Amino acid sequence: MLIAAVVSLVVLVGLPLALSLLDKKAKDTMTKAAEPVPAAKPQTPKQVTAPPPAEAAPVRLEAEEIHYLPGQVGLNAGAGSPLLKKTDMKEGNRRITGIRKVTDKSKNGEFLSAKWSPDGLQMIASRPGYRGLYVIDARTGLSRQIADGGAFGAKWTTDGKIEVRDEDGNIRTLNPDGTVDSVGPDTRSQQAYAENDTVYVKTTDGGSVPITTSDDKYFNPVVSPDGKSVVYQGLTTGLYMANADGSGEPVYLGSGNNVVWAPDSSGIVFDVTTDDGHMLTSGDLYFVDADGSTRTNLTPGSDSIDEMPSVSPDGHQVVYQSDGEIYVGELR
């Protein structure tokens, strides 16, 4: 294309003049190329305004994450919630006195979950982790092992034998000397039971009716010796007392664990503990009478962590554990 332009120029102006024009154009081009390019003017930086922080979305707590303090009703409880049926309990004046140590962990190791025998002369207990089953003399504290393996839920029968569930789910019945009396499936009839986070009671016609709502996960129903009342536990709310026939409304008792009835059905004994997320930091024993109107701290001012009570057959003594040792006191 450049060659065609030069030829056209020669034809128009002649060779000498064309060469002169071409030489001038080349010099002009070289001069412009040699001129310095002016530096770009600095631009004033623009201030960028950060967008306002997004408003945090409200946190919604599920029922399992909400914990109620003793004596408080649940937040936003529905009109039909048993939390709104709580009785304003009065402070009672019952106490455990004359406390004595039954076992010494420095000599015999640690024990937990002691339970009175029907005659009030012995107890059964287990080691931490419910390892092994032991019979302990209530007066001397002497112990003897009668079974290996897990002993969770072991209990005395009314005729002085001991029932414990084995690894196969069968009920193993032992004599106090450790000999096996019988082994078989669990055919024990239960007046109240928990299933799918709901507590049911048996009716006179052989059926069953639920006595809990769906506002918590309920478990561990304990029927009174006279069969008239049942106490059960809510996972996040605490203890409740209800009629064992399903009538009426349950009474909210506050927080608590390990409920046992007094033999005459006059009330329940249980423990109330606190923890720091890793270990227990305090624990006291409480008594609530059968109508749910009075709640009493049986061990106020105690520096020990008292838990897992059991009431003697005559209702006059309570055995419990504290820091791996077994204690007995008079229930006044």
* pLDDT 10s digits, 271-304: 999 999 999 999 999 999 999 999 999 999 888 9
Position 231 pLDDT exceeds 70: yes
Number of domains present in the structure of the chain: 1
Provide the domain limits for residue 97. Answer: 74-331
How many alpha carbons fall within 13 Å on the CB side of residue 273?
21
**What's the rounded mean pLDDT across residues 40-55?**
47
Note whether residue 3 is domain-resident. Answer: no
Highest mean pLDDT range out of 26-40, 64-78, 233-247? 233-247
Q: What is the pLDDT of residue 65?
A: 34
State residue 149's pLDDT score: 86
Where does the pLDDT of residue 325 fall: very low under 50, low under 70, confident under 90, or very high at 90 and above?
very high
Q: Are 243 and 229 in contact (CB under 8 A)?
A: yes
Do residues 191 and 209 lie in contact, with contact meaning Cβ atoms separated by under 8 Å? Answer: no
**Domain for residue 47, yes or no?**
no
CA distance 267 to 265: 5
> Does residue 248 form part of some domain?
yes
CATH for 238? 2.130.10.10
* Per-residue confidence band for 176, with pLDDT thresholds at 50, 70 and 90: very high
Look at residue 142 and tell me if it is in a domain.
Answer: yes
3-state SS of the chain? CHHHHHHHHHHHHCHHHHHHHHHHHHHHHHHHHHCCCCCCCCCCCCCCCCCCCCCCCCCCCCHHHCCCCCCCCCCCCCCCCHHHHCCCCEECCCCEEEEEECCCHHHHCCCEEEEECCCCCEEEEEECCCEEEEEEECCCCCEEEEEEEECCCCEECCCCCEEEECCCCCEEEECCCCCEEEEECCCCCCCEEEECCEEEEECCCCCEEECCCCCCCEEEEEECCCCCEEEEEECCCEEEEEECCCCCCCEEEECCEEEEECCCCCEEEEEEEEECCCCEEEEEEEEEECCCCEEEECCCCCCCEEEEEEECCCCCEEEEEECCEEEEEEEC
Mean pLDDT of 72-100: 62
| In a domain? residue 177 | yes
Burial of 180 (0-12, 13-18, 19+ CB in 10 A): exposed
Residue 5 resides in a domain:
no
Is the residue at 259 inside a domain? yes
CA–CA dist 107, 98 (Å, integer): 23
Amino acid at 147: A
User: What is the mean predicted confidence (pLDDT) over 14-34?
Assistant: 47
**Residue 95: inside a domain, yes or no?**
yes
Percentage of residues in the chain having pLDDT higher than 90: 62
285 vs 320: CA distance, rounded Å:
9
